[in-house]
Structure 1
Amino acid sequence: MPDLQASIAHYYHQRTKYDPNTIASKNKVLDWSKQPFPFKEYKIGNIFDLKPYLSSPLSTSSDAKVQEWRRLSRLLACSYGLTAKLSTMGGPPIYLRAAPSAGGLYPAEIYLISGGTSLLPAGLYNYQALNHSLIHFWESEVWEELAKACFRHPALEHTQLALVTTAIFERSAWRYEDRAYRRIFLDTGHLLGNIELASAINYYRPYLIGGFTDSVIDELLYLDPEQEGVITVIPLIDLTENQPKIEPAKTALPSTINTQYPNIADGELLKYFHKATQINQAETPSSLAEVEENSPGEDKYNFPFCLKVSTSCPPIDWGEGLTGIETTILKRRSTRAYSGADLTLDELKALLNFTYQPQDYIGQGLDGNPDYFDLKLLQTFVGVSGVKGLEEGCYYYAPKAQELRQIRFKNFRQELHFLCLGQELGRDASVMIFHTADLNKAVAKYGDRVYRYLHMDAGHLGQRLNLAAIYLNLGVSGIGGFFDDQVNEVLGIPPDEAVIYITTLGRPRLG
């Protein structure tokens, strides 16, 4: 029987850890003929083709409606649109998208809910990435139901357009089994990073909502809850119109802490955990106010007598109109191999600056306080294997002080190779960023649902690292598979910090 003193979030995390003594027995042979199709299909609906609005820049037309279509088209293309089509040996082509996905499985779907706008009649829409279009599959007034399910989040009172992201579980579970739930939310976090930045480029302000009545929105979108679940709701405020004053509201709401659960068979844990982290209508929050800033809290660790290195630096220049961000989103690829050559300290500083210091980018047109769920719950550790001007070892990154604080001095290349399941990315990377969280404190604050928030915030930060690295002509790749407990032991990370995500950085191997 499970330990009934542990919440289901703790139980899931422990149960899905990779361990070097047992991982071989869990490896399975994949039947590629049964891989789920990564695009959702609707047989009936009115199609809005978005492709014509990608062919020219925003400023070439004086027609206001054409401008609106272009902004919406570019927002969706830069969030989750197709960026490449790769041929395979006799099999179906592989499609790559603007947001990275573990194993190229793309479990996320994007829906639009319209309360009736100048472009989109009221109802439900699915974004069809395969042909860059919207399909209007339900024509009905649903905005009031959405607002009630989101506990009257104030942003929904000032717009009639919202994105909804969902996850089709089997797309990822087909390969990663129960641990796929982690990867689904990391993938969603990367998608949220794109939505945040693509919105700024196209004059929208997205408001992130992670607390809602899951079953109501599942039903509203006609989802099969055994196959697909709502993950986030994101109202879009049009910044080209008179900007309303929106009262700050919580992005994250708590669920219950579930300590009563049965023995759960392998293959059933993912869906059981998803249901256990849902919010019911009866759990209406007393208030959506009392909002904390989305920036990190006070720096958690200040080790005595450690080496401290300032990371303060000028912000990355993304070019006029943020053209560098759009270009980078569309050309981004996960790096497959590193050369092992060093990065410079200035490059590492620039990566950390864009990821953790958004206030430095207000002058370029980006949001200085973009929505996350709760960055105060995440900590960042940096494993340095090759950075000119910086000793090898493990560092804690203190975002408030903007400095690296050394924990352990050592060359970790071989250990990192082992920790990352023998992937050469771990061995040859110059830098590895580890996002961690104290699960006990996180669950105490938000209940079991916090597991979603932690992984989405880590993925969101990971996407900013991705884009900054590509823009600086560096290589980058996220790793969601690692030996959990051994990471803490090898690097000297405190044992109460659960490892959530790893991002590798280095110089890409040519040829």
Structure 2
Amino acid sequence: MPSRNREISSARDYHARTAHSPRSVRTSGHRLDWDIEPLPFKIYPELPAIPLPRDFPAATADTLTALSGPPGSSSPLDLERLAALLFLSAGVTRTMKYRSGAETHFRAAPSTGALYQTEVYVVAGDVTGLEPGVYHFGPGDFTLRRLREGDFRGAVALAAADEPMALRPATLIVSAIYWRNTWKYEARGYRHLFWDSGTLLANLLASATALGLDARVVTAFVDDEVNALLGLDAGKEGALELIPVGGEGRPAPPPPVISPLGAATVPLSSSEVDYPLLVQAYADSCLEGEAEVIDWRESAESRLAPVAPVGGLTALPSPRMTAGRALGETIQQRGSTREFSGAAITAEELSTALFHATRGSAGDLPSGLVDLYLTIHAVDGVAPGAYLYHAGPHALEALKLGDVRADSAFLCLDQALGGTSSVTVFFLADLERVLARLGNRGYRAANLEAGIIGGRLYLAAYAQRFGATGLTFYDDDVVTFFSPHARGKDAIFVTALGRSVKRAPRTRARLGRS
């Protein structure tokens, strides 16, 4: 009997039923219910807080070096470096207060609607200054709370069928609380779980490199086992990715028995709206045992053949290898652009952003699942029009030339940002090929790869002192616009890049030592 993951009609059905069109957006009838707006943080009221050190090492490496440089040097993982890693990937970098008394706590990595449904847990076994245990990271008060005592690294390694993970000092687990996103975006929020964990992972991987820590992304694991370790109800919150961190060291002992976890949490809202379509999509992409994990990982190892050029290629200028801006500064200055000026960026700046965003990630996440289609509006030395980016030769293939600002804005849910940018990057995937190879979990992987590349585009843009923002889109219209080249593909994600309208500087959190 085929596993749930191999019944790929589930992912196809989910994608089709959550597709945006001009008609679906205008007739949805969905309105935000502010009376049940979710809390921005997961709170364990009965567990003592363990303050994280705020005088942690600064990420002084150049941003572009951190994005594309070699993996970290496998330095020992101590509590100070762990604190830096958590802050630079998931910490609160700025708080905006409104006249109404409401607050928005902006975090290190971008998130759809600034809703931040992504949570981070730490399975620690050999971290200097931290007792072995399973911890939840609280970005609101910058603390850890211990959910389980003991060394559970072996349990995570078993769930991932990955023995070397048990030798790493810690594994971070990224999860998502669905309601925090579906409150605004309804069932389409399943896509956002991976866009947003992807942007967080872009920060995390670059930060690990800057801090001299080895890190990789593990996407194949037995979901039920990891969720049980964290005490998660997969109908409300589910584990998404595992990130073993640090060099190999003292092996983990046999893991303790995983008993039910009874730690209470504060309700996010007085009531919640369930979205069974999202819950089913998550369940149908779960892996159910060691054999299936190994099989999935083997399927992921063979890269999809890159798209062959149909027409001639235009080589991009050589990318810059440094930007003159430290990664820590870039992360703290980053914020989604709210208004583009329409001014041009240079071809070298575009080249640099694309190059450093598409170098792949260490781990088992397959690369090449998404193709990058561009609408270029204002790039010095590049004619306006629609293009396909070829990462191998680092070149552009022109699909149609001319002013496409209005088209691009329309495709991005009629948002001006899609057309006033210098360039808008549309991520498309051949989902039929992806799902045939990877099952429903391939849908996770395609959205995650797009999220990581999008997060790296953010970092590369801000390192070069221009802006970026993530956008949503009319699914079928995006494919139609880039056809006939894109015929048969599906729209996955959008990131726009360009010069921001100048505004007064904003106050940022100042953490970390130089």
Q: TM-score, normalised by structure 1?
A: 0.84
Give deviations 1:90-118, integer Å, cap 9, x for gaps: 23211000010000100000000123543
Greater relative contact order (CA < 8 Å, ≥ 6 in sequence): 2
Match of 2:100 among 76, 86, 90: 90
Letter in 2 for 1:127: F
Partner of 1:303: 310
Shift of 1:161: 0.8
Q: In 2, Cα distance between the equivalents of 1:357 and 1:197?
A: 12
For residues 357-372 of structure 1, what are the structure 2 equivalents within 5 Å? 357=359, 370-371=362-363
Shift of 1:73: 1.3
Pair 1:114-2:124 in alignment: yes
Q: In 2, Cα distance between the equivalents of 1:205 and 1:443?
A: 30
Unaligned runs of 5+ in 2: 1-5, 61-74, 251-272, 504-514
Q: In 1, Cα distance between the equivalents of 2:38 and 2:351?
A: 40
Shift of 1:210: 0.8
Shift of 1:89: 2.2
Partner of 1:249: none
Letter in 1 for 2:431: L
Match of 1:131 among 118, 141, 159: 141
SS of the equivalent of 1:231 reads strand
Match of 1:487 among 478, 483, 486: 478
Give deviations 1:8-44, integer Å, cap 9, x for gaps: 1111111110111232111422112311112111123
Q: In 1, Cα distance between the equivalents of 2:76 and 2:388?
A: 48
Partner of 1:277: 285
Shift of 1:285: 4.2
Pair 1:11-2:13 in alignment: yes
Match of 1:186 among 191, 195, 199: 195
Letter in 2 for 1:168: I
Match of 1:423 among 397, 401, 415: 415
Q: In 2, Cα distance between the equivalents of 1:23 and 1:46?
A: 44
Partner of 1:315: 320
Partner of 2:341: 339
- Give the 3 Å change call, closer, same or farther, for CA 90–210 of structure 1 in structure 2: same
Q: TM-score, normalised by structure 2?
A: 0.84
Shifted more, 190-199 versus 407-416: the winner is 407-416
Shifted more, 450-459 versus 119-128: the winner is 119-128
Q: In 1, Cα distance between the equivalents of 2:57 and 2:501?
A: 33
Shift of 1:430: 1.4
SS of the equivalent of 2:432 reads helix
Pair 1:407-2:416 in alignment: no
Pair 1:502-2:494 in alignment: yes
- Give the 3 Å change call, closer, same or farther, for CA 216–286 of structure 1 in structure 2: closer
**4+ long deviations beyond 6 Å:** 55-58, 291-294
2:195–2:450 Cα contact (<8 Å) kept:
yes
- Backbone CA RMSD of aligned residues: 2.7
State percent identity of aligned pairs.
29
SS of the equivalent of 1:70 reads helix
1:413–1:427 Cα contact (<8 Å) kept:
yes
Q: In 1, Cα distance between the equivalents of 2:477 and 2:13?
A: 18
SS of the equivalent of 1:206 reads coil
SS of the equivalent of 2:23 reads coil
Q: In 1, Cα distance between the equivalents of 2:9 and 2:352?
A: 39
- Give the 3 Å change call, closer, same or farther, for CA 297–28 of structure 1 in structure 2: closer
SS of the equivalent of 1:302 reads coil
Pair 1:76-2:83 in alignment: no
Pair 1:472-2:464 in alignment: yes
Q: In 2, Cα distance between the equivalents of 1:57 and 1:9?
A: 39
Shifted more, 389-398 versus 484-493: the winner is 484-493
Shift of 1:348: 0.9
Shift of 1:382: 1.3
Shift of 1:56: 7.4
SS of the equivalent of 2:42 reads coil
Match of 1:208 among 208, 217, 238: 217
Shift of 1:146: 1.8
Match of 2:31 among 22, 29, 32: 29
Q: In 1, Cα distance between the equivalents of 2:320 and 2:210?
A: 17
